Amino acid sequence: MTSHAGPLLEVRNLRIEFPTRRGTLVAVDDVSFSIAPGEVLGVVGESGAGKSLTGAAIIGLLEPPGRIAAGEIKLAGLRIDNLPYDEMRKVRGREIGAIFQDPLTSLNPLYTVGQQLVETITTHLNVSSADARRRAIELLAATGIPAPERRIDHYPHQFSGGMRQRVVIALALAAEPKLVIADEPTTALDVSIQAQIITLLKTLCREKRTAVMLVTHDMGVIAETADRVAVMYAGRIVEIGPVGDVIHRPQHPYTVGLMGSIPTFGHETERLTQIDGAMPRLTAIPPGCAFHPRCSRAFDRCSRERPDLMPAGASRAACWLHDAAAGKVAA
C-alpha cells in the first residue's frame, strides 16, 4: 500500500562498519530501501546477513564500536541518522516503535506493565495520567490480553512469554509511532500465538497506516505478513520486490535456494533444496558477488565484478544473470 506523500522511511546507501585491530569490517554495505505508510517490508536472510544491524541503525541503537560510516536515513523526509542522542531518543519513542525478539529486554521487571505503558504515553503524548491509563488498557485489549483492567497492574514476570510479547507490542505502539521496527517479533512464540501476533501487526498497519520493517529469518511469517520483501546476504540486499513474486518467482540464485528450502503443503518433495557452504564471515567476503562461491549458476564475471540491483521480473536482483546489456537474462 503506497501513499501519494511518498515513502515514510528512506534508507539510502547505508554502510555500517566495525573498526577492529585487524582492520575495518563492513557489516552492512550500500543498502537502500524505502517503506510507505501502511506497508510491511519483510527483511529476510541468514544470521549475520545484516538485517538486525540495519534495524538497529534506523532506531539509533547500534552497539559501539559499530557505526554508520556512510549513507543516510530519513523519516517522513527528515534526516535522523545524524541526530544527537537526546534528540534521537525523542524520535525513538514518539515516531519509531521497536519490538525485539526477547520481551524481557524491553520490559523493566521492577515496574508493573501499566506503569511502563503510562510513562511512555505521558512522555510522548500530551495527555493526563488518567487518560494515559485508559489508553494503556485499550492497548492491552487491542493486543489480545484478557482482562486488561486487572492485568495492567501486574508485573512482567506474571505474564507468559506470548503475553509479554503482546505487552512489548503495546509498548511499541503506545505513542502511536509512524514506523515500527520488529526484529524477530515471533521467534520465541508457539505457532498459534505467532499467528495472533502477525494478525495484530497487520491490523495495526492497515488501521493506523503504520509502516513496519519486519526482520525475520522465517519465510512463513514473511509470506503471511509482508507486502514487499528484501533478501539480505553478506551485508547487501540481493533481491527486493513484491512478496508474492519473491516467494514464487525468485530471481536471485540465493533467494531460489532460500525458497527451495521451505517445505510446501500438498506437494510431494523428495528432498528440500540445500544451499551448500555457509555465508562468508565479515573478515572474508569474496570479491565480485559475495554469493558466487555457493552459486551453481556463477560464471566468470561473478567472481570479478559486484552486481548492483537491476530489474528482474517484477523484482530487482543483484545478479549478473539479469544484465540485459550483456545479453545474459535469467532463464
The pTM (predicted TM-score) of the whole model is: 0.90
Q: Give the chain's mean pLDDT.
A: 90
**212 lies in the same domain as 247:** no
**41 lies in the same domain as 142:** yes
What percent of the chain stands above pLDDT 90?
69
Is 331 a member of any domain?
Answer: no
Is 321 a member of any domain?
Answer: yes
**158 lies in the same domain as 13:** yes
Q: How far apart are CA 103 and CA 155, in angstroms?
A: 13
Domain that holds residue 119: 9-47+59-233
Q: What confidence score (pLDDT) does residue 331 get?
A: 41
Is 269 a member of any domain?
Answer: no
**241 lies in the same domain as 228:** no
Q: How far apart are CA 219 and CA 254, in angstroms?
A: 14
**248 lies in the same domain as 219:** no
Grid cell digits, residue 151:
492485568
More confident residue, 25 or 192: 25
Grid cell digits, residue 220:
512463513
Is 80 a member of any domain?
Answer: yes
Question: Are 79 and 73 contacting, i.e. CB atoms less than 8 angstroms apart?
Answer: yes
Is 160 a member of any domain?
Answer: yes
Number of domains in the chain: 2
Q: What is the pLDDT of residues 128-157, one digit of tens each?
A: 999 999 999 999 998 889 999 999 999 999
pLDDT band at 264 (very low <50, low <70, confident <90, very high): low
Instruction: Please give the average per-residue pLDDT across 283-310, as a whole number.
Output: 96
Is 1 a member of any domain?
Answer: no
Q: Is the pLDDT of residue 326 over 70?
A: no
pLDDT band at 329 (very low <50, low <70, confident <90, very high): very low
Is 319 a member of any domain?
Answer: yes
**191 lies in the same domain as 301:** no
Q: Is the pLDDT of residue 2 over 50?
A: no
Q: What CATH number does residue 184 fall under?
A: 3.40.50.300
**192 lies in the same domain as 115:** yes
Q: What confidence score (pLDDT) does residue 262 get?
A: 66
**63 lies in the same domain as 172:** yes
Question: Are 179 and 172 contacting, i.e. CB atoms less than 8 angstroms apart?
Answer: no
Q: What is the pLDDT of residues 33-87, one digit of tens each?
A: 999 999 999 999 988 999 999 999 999 999 999 999 999 999 999 999 999 999 9
Burial 232-256 (b: 16+ CB within 10 A, else e): bbbbbbbbbbbbebbbebbbbbbbb
More confident residue, 27 or 328: 27
**241 lies in the same domain as 229:** no
Question: Are 51 and 43 contacting, i.e. CB atoms less than 8 angstroms apart?
Answer: yes
**70 lies in the same domain as 196:** yes
**64 lies in the same domain as 146:** yes
Strands of 236-242's sheet in order across: 96-99, 179-183, 211-215, 40-44, 228-233, 236-242, 315-317, 310-312
Q: What confidence score (pLDDT) does residue 137 get?
A: 98
Q: What is the pLDDT of residues 177-215, one digit of tens each?
A: 999 999 988 876 777 778 888 888 888 788 889 999 999
**214 lies in the same domain as 302:** no
Q: How far apart are CA 181 and CA 183, in angstroms?
A: 6
Is 3 a member of any domain?
Answer: no
Q: What is the pLDDT of residues 83-136, one digit of tens each?
A: 999 999 989 989 999 998 777 778 999 999 999 999 999 999 999 999 999 999
